[in-house]
Amino acid sequence: MVPAAVLARARSLRQEIERHNHAYYVLDTPTIPDAEYDRLFRELQALEAEYPELAARDSPTLRVGGQPLDGFAPVRHAVPMLSIRTETDTTAAGARAFDARVRKELGLTETDPPVEYAAELKFDGLAINLRYQQGVLVQAATRGDGETGEDVTQNVRTVHSVPLRLALDAPPAVLEVRGEIYMRRDDFERYNAKQRDAGKPALVNPRNGAAGSIRQLDPRLAAQRPLSFYAYGLGEVQGWHDAPATHSATLDVLAAMGVPVCGERVVGAGADALVAFHDDVEARRDQLPFDIDGVVYKVNRFDLQRTLGFLTREPRWAVAHKYPAQEEMTVVEAIGVQVGRTGALTPVARLAPVFVGGVTVTNATLHNQDEIDRKDVRVGDTVIVRRAGDVIPEVVSVIRERRPQPEPPRFDIMQSSPVCPECGSHVVRLQGEAAVRCTGGLYCPAQRKQALLHFASRRAMDIEGLGDKLVDQLVDRGLVHSPADVYGLDLATLAGLDRMAEKSAANLVAAIEASKTTTLARFIFALGIRNVGETTAKDLARQFGTLDALIAAKEDELLAVRDVGPIVAASILQFFAEPHNLDVVRRLREAGVNWPESSGLQQSTGRLAGKTLVLTGTLPGLTRDAARDRIEAAGGKVAGSVSKKTDFLVAGEDAGSKLAKAHALGVMILDEAGLLAMLDVDKPDRQPGQPDCEF
């Protein structure tokens, strides 16, 4: 028996979490920090685990995906999901031809008033039917052949913008909402970037990404894909007594129920309104956050739709008006290389000019060597190129039947570019990484801005005031070529920059001067060595004691450092093997950058030597940084999550799931007093009036 208080709390959590889901995924206006959302979600998960009777079809915990399926069950549509006619004339004549057909079928003359239409976007995704019973999502099905689709309920539940319960006090007995599962361009690019960084296959395009995600047999994989949903119509309806009389009003009501409906839609009278909508959307097509391949016109009144009826299996009252294709064929004339802000060398196909997506394209990204190998792109190949919106054009596939004979050789980026085309530094490809990278991080012009911003960041050299806009000016004007040049900036130079008052310039000069005195760990971190984070930098400083010792270290010596494996060791060796980087380090020292050095330690001898601690909750007297510094000064390591290797959990107020996991694993729990007693310290470092810090 579930206690009444637990039932009420679970109900409240579900409502609050879905409210935040709607704000974040539909309205794009998040209302709480991610950490607070995670806390609510974990609390609901814990309640449902403790009381299985709480399981409900509308629980947001279902969005993480369930067990893999053996296959998709067939679903017979109560109302067929029919396709609509496509108007391939992409000019204004296409819209006028549709209006003329509608007026003819309705028997209207030139003197009769214009027909009212609803015009909306034609999304490039996967059509889906959502079946709600008493307001709760019970089934999701694909279009299939129009009569029978596939049951993809588990996968669709992972799409956060799909409401699991309609926001209605008295919902219809049955309400089928029809719409499109799609992938935003920015989500598509972020997902593919993560896949490439991990050496995994990227998605071909947003449409294939959406369709392939929903048809994954493992819902947990679908949950990892960033999908969205827009409604555009209805299927079967039972018990909706005050249903609207028009299509546009129906979409308004669906939006009020919490169902995502695209705002890019209009209601207008006659052909002129359709032409205006078509032209307006075409002019803004590249700025839309998702792909479309046209617009859709529908007679707005349902009674007129019923009068018009269907032609074979297509409604006479609707049409899809296409835009020019965003995929075209062309020939790869050469393959070049570009260097990005992080030092990654990106292969680029130089193309025979082709008009695609409204512009002439001459270059297309090939992403990395793995993508070139997977698609087998070679100079001379005929390829399909895709351009959508602001997304960089890319080669989608090769038409191998048109490959020149004899076959051109395969392209190898390491052979074509053994050194960086921007700075001449050596390039490397680390084990397990897809990207080939330049090793001249402190010197390479392509990486200059990124290197400076990292160097000046709070946890590195902490040069307050040296931010994005100022770095842009310093680099673009040729005033700074490497971090060492920062220490040559004077008041007059800085005061002469845009939006830089004399007081601000003086403050920055002071911050630059103050940063000269630092720690070895901060300096190592500031260098921006790939795979060397803040914690690893501290371990390196503690182990070697001096920068010269670190620079001279061999691979086996680096591997002896805690948590330094072959990949991190290789990154360090390659960084210091590059003469350009050593020259910048020398100039930084000559500029007066200094730190205390020691003889180094083969093994820490502090009170917490060899111990791993995790921090959670809000401590009454220590900030997060202060607690971490004390633990590390005593030879301990601070980890981000609890595991079997954790020795102590330091828990404050509002401790979350880490505390529960520590109890389950039998990890010793300390409060702040226990931590300080272990360190044999009486007073914390908090300044008067400084607020507590939650972590």
Q: So which residues are the catalytic ones? A: 122
Look at the chain and count its residues. Answer: 695
Query: What is the identity of the amino acid at 21?
Result: N
Task: Give me 120's structure tokens.
Answer: 């909306």
Task: Give me 99's structure tokens.
Answer: 């209006």
> 289 in helix, strand or coil?
coil
Distant-in-sequence, close-in-space partners of 92: CB < 8 Å, separation ≥ 6? 275, 278, 279
Give yes or no for a contact between 484 and 498, defined as CB atoms under 8 angstroms apart.
no
Distant-in-sequence, close-in-space partners of 567: CB < 8 Å, separation ≥ 6? 430, 431, 432, 531
Give yes or no for a contact between 43 and 128, defined as CB atoms under 8 angstroms apart.
no
Q: Cis omega (within 30 of 0) on the bond before 445?
A: no
Question: What is the distance between the alpha carbons of residues 221 and 298, in angstroms, rounded to a whole number?
Answer: 36
Question: What is the distance between the alpha carbons of residues 672 and 669, in angstroms, rounded to a whole number?
Answer: 10
Question: What is the distance between the alpha carbons of residues 83 and 300, in angstroms, rounded to a whole number?
Answer: 18
Question: What is the distance between the alpha carbons of residues 441 and 419, in angstroms, rounded to a whole number?
Answer: 13
Task: Give me 655's structure tokens.
Answer: 């401790």
Question: What is the distance between the alpha carbons of residues 331 and 380, in angstroms, rounded to a whole number?
Answer: 6
- DSSP one-letter string for 512-552: HHHHTB--HHHHHHHTT-TT--HHHHHHHHHHH-SHHHHHH
> 123 in helix, strand or coil?
strand
Task: Give me 443's structure tokens.
Answer: 């010197």
Q: Token pair 């690893």 is at which residue? A: 536
| Beta-carbon-side half-sphere exposure of residue 257 (alpha carbons within 13 Å) | 28
Question: What is the distance between the alpha carbons of residues 158 and 141, in angstroms, rounded to a whole number?
Answer: 14
Could you tell me how far CA 206 lies from the centroid of its own chain? 13
CA nearest neighbour of 383 among 368, 399, 370, 404: 399
> 272 in helix, strand or coil?
helix
How many other CB atoms are there within 10 angstroms of residue 236's CB atom?
13
